[in-house]
Structure formats: structure tokens, C-alpha cells
Amino acid sequence: MQLYVILRRNGFTSVEDLQEGAKRSTTAGDAPDSGVRWIRSYVLDEESGEVGTVCIYEADSPEAIRAHGAAATLPVDEIISVMDTVVVRPDPVAATA
């Protein structure tokens, strides 16, 4: 599996909408042979008032990510292959809204 960043700009109308999307994503990703594994997401406070995400996934391919997005009815604006990881510090305590 390869590591990918998935950008979902203005993908959700609210935090509650995002939480519902996360449930759908988990269900779709847990399906046998889904070809994706959700690692983490960072939630974006978009200027529009909507909610976006930057998601980190392991996946067999960009096509597997698009199929996962379709199965979970999630937007997939951009898929970027990760070349390497540089960790300067671990993630801070989870941000709160």
C-alpha cells in the first residue's frame, strides 16, 4: 500500500455532516478488499463556513481511493502521493473547535 493525502475542500456543511461522512468512510474502508486504510484526518475551518479535511490514507491506488469516496459518498478533490514522511514533533493534543 502507498500513502496518500486526500484533500476535501468545503466537503461538509457542518461538523455533524463530517461525523456522518466519517461513519460512512469507516464502513466502506472496513469492507473486505476495499484497498484503503484511513490513518487520520485534519479538519479545516473553511472561509465559506463549511468544513474541509486533509486526510491521510494508505491505499492500493488512487482508483481505490476514488472508489472508496464513491462508496461513502465523500468528495475527493485531490489525491497526492506521499513521497516521504518527516516528523519533527508528534502531533499536538487534538485541536478543539
- What is the pLDDT averaged over residues 4-20? 94
* Total count of domains within the chain: 1
- Within a domain: residue 88? no
Q: How far apart are CA 82 and CA 94, in angstroms?
A: 23
- Residue 53 belongs to domain with CATH number: 3.30.70.3090
- Within a domain: residue 96? no
- Within a domain: residue 91? no
- Within a domain: residue 25? yes
Domain that holds residue 29: 2-81
- Within a domain: residue 97? no
Residue pLDDT, tens place only, 47-83: 999 999 999 999 999 999 999 999 999 999 999 999 9
- Within a domain: residue 93? no
- Within a domain: residue 87? no
Provide φ and ψ at 75, rounded to 5°: -70, 150
State how far the alpha carbon of 42 is from the alpha carbons of 11, 31, 51, 53, 80, in Å.
Answer: 13, 23, 10, 6, 15
CA-closest candidate to residue 57, choices 41, 78, 35, 38: 38
